[in-house]
Amino acid sequence: MSTLRRLPGIAADGRTAFVTPGEGIINQLGDAMEGATIVAAKESIDRARKLANDHAASTAELRIALRALAAGTESVIEVATLRGERLGMDVSDDESAD
């Protein structure tokens, strides 16, 4: 049997959720959550680009866009990490670039 699949996000009690690999409804939900995360990040990129090109954009608007980009980036990194785990890749956090 292969290893458990870690699902995106965390459970309400703060613990990580796992499921056995396969084509079941929970795996499909995990796939949908990962897909929605990527779509949301792309939308944040589009909004940020529009604001960056808007010379009338306020500092507050730009900060909000930057925070959304940071959150989206973190979420997409989580998706990439989860997918790497499923491919058997070493995805340890100690490889961060400073």
- Mind listing the pLDDT tens digit for each residue in 20-74? 888 899 999 989 999 999 999 999 999 999 999 999 999 999 999 999 999 999 9
Contact, 71 vs 37, CB < 8 A? no
Query: Would you state the pLDDT for residue 46?
Result: 95
Does the pLDDT of residue 93 top 80, yes or no? no
68: nearest Cα among 93, 50, 91, 95: 50
- Smallest CA-to-CA distance from 6 within 15, 18, 14 is with 18
